[in-house]
């Protein structure tokens, strides 16, 4: 058996979670994205993840990505819009996105690479339809709004923290169109620019809420391990500046699993989430989404 086939074997998948992150990361470089996807599914079988609640599956898959490199602008590619797949390096969005996608596949027992691609497209694009750059869900609040419509998750911020404890996210949300030159797809394409502007207009008709970070320590027990976390920001025109997955440690503390930034790897924060947020002046609080157990009847939406 050659090195590539050995790495892709079920035997290694069962051992993957026990490998030192640096060693396992180096070994994975030889694998294709399809083989890495199979590795995740084989690991799920070895740990019997399908029998567990989807929140536990998300955490389990997330932990299997620990040590994976961060890559910026991971979804941007030349030419027409395409379904970009990169399991070798992740940004904060593709990290949680892959956790959810793989978890849904595992729970639905649809675990071919084509199944993975179908679920990924369903999550990443408006109503699951990839047509052009504007069909991709760019702002997190819009992404999660559409995911809620598709039955994938529920934004629970106001429900779990209470209406009197949350604050409206600032409007207008228009960072993309007010920073047009930094987005290649709309910089010189007036038609695409108008589509993005219309998308922003729709977002700004809605009201979204966040829990201010200074109060998180009072309500951390309301967040479940496996919940998706969106970190709100005071950057003008932007809703969410960072995303990840909530993880509750054995001591009960709420931590944050994420792909941090350039030069870092997927990790769980050393400090509890509320202490992590306190370090960054541009981070204002959190929104929380809870992923639904995928129902077999919802496959018709794919």
* pLDDT tens digit sequence for 112-156: 999 999 999 999 999 999 999 999 999 999 999 999 999 999 999
Q: What is the pLDDT of residue 254?
A: 98
Give the count of beta carbons closer than 10 Å to the beta carbon of residue 274: 19
Domain 3-301 coded CATH 1.10.3670.10: yes
Alpha helices in 179-253 (DSSP H): 184-187, 190-203, 216-219
Q: Convert the pLDDT of each residue in 213-235 to its tens digit.
A: 999 999 999 999 999 999 999 99
Cβ neighbours of residue 198 closer than 8 Å, sequence gap 6 or more: none
Task: Take residue 200 and report the two structure tokens written for it.
Answer: 């922003």
Measure the CA–CA gap between 19 and 91, rounded to whole angstroms.
22
Mean pLDDT, the chain, whole residue set: 91
pTM: 0.91
Backbone conformation region of residue 151, classed left if phi is above 0, alpha if psi is from -120 to 50, else beta = left
Cβ 183 vs Cβ 195: under 8 Å: no
- CA-to-CA dists, residue 38 to 12, 80, 165, angstroms: 11, 28, 43
Residue with the larger pLDDT of the pair 298 and 162: 162
Q: What is the pLDDT of residue 17?
A: 46
Q: What is the pLDDT of residue 198?
A: 98
**Domain boundaries in the chain?**
3-301
How does residue 29 score in pLDDT terms, banded at 50, 70 and 90? confident
> Checking DSSP bridges between strand 254-258 and strand 153-155, what pairing results, if any?
unpaired
């Amino acid at each position: 058996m050659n090195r590539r086939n050995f790495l892709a074997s079920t035997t290694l998948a069962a051992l993957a979670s026990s490998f030192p992150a640096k060693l396992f990361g180096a070994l994975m470089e030889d694998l294709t994205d399809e083989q890495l996807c199979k590795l995740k599914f084989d690991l799920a079988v070895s740990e019997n993840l399908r029998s567990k609640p989807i929140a536990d599956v998300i955490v389990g898959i997330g932990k299997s990505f620990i040590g994976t490199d961060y890559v910026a602008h991971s979804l941007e590619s030349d030419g027409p819009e395409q379904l970009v797949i990169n399991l070798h390096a992740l940004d904060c969005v593709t990290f949680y996105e892959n956790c959810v996608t793989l978890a849904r596949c595992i729970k639905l027992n649809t675990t071919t690479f084509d199944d993975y691609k179908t679920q990924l497209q369903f999550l990443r694009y408006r109503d699951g339809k990839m047509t052009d750059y504007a069909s991709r869900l760019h702002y997190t609040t819009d992404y999660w709004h559409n995911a809620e419509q598709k039955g994938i998750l529920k934004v629970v911020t106001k429900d779990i923290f209470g209406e009197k404890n949350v604050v409206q996210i600032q409007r207008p949300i228009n960072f993309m169109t007010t920073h047009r030159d930094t987005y290649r797809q709309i910089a010189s394409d007036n038609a695409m620019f108008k589509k993005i502007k219309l998308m922003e207009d729709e977002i700004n008709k809605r009201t979204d809420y966040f829990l201010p970070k200074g109060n998180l320590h009072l309500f951390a027990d309301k967040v479940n391990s496996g919940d998706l976390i969106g970190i709100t920001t005071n950057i003008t025109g932007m809703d969410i500046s960072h995303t990840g997955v909530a993880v509750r440690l054995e001591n009960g503390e709420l931590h944050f699993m994420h792909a941090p930034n350039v030069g870092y790897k997927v990790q769980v924060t050393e400090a509890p989430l509320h202490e992590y947020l306190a370090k960054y002046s541009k981070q204002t609080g959190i929104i929380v989404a809870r992923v639904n157990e995928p129902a077999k009847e919802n496959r018709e939406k794919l």
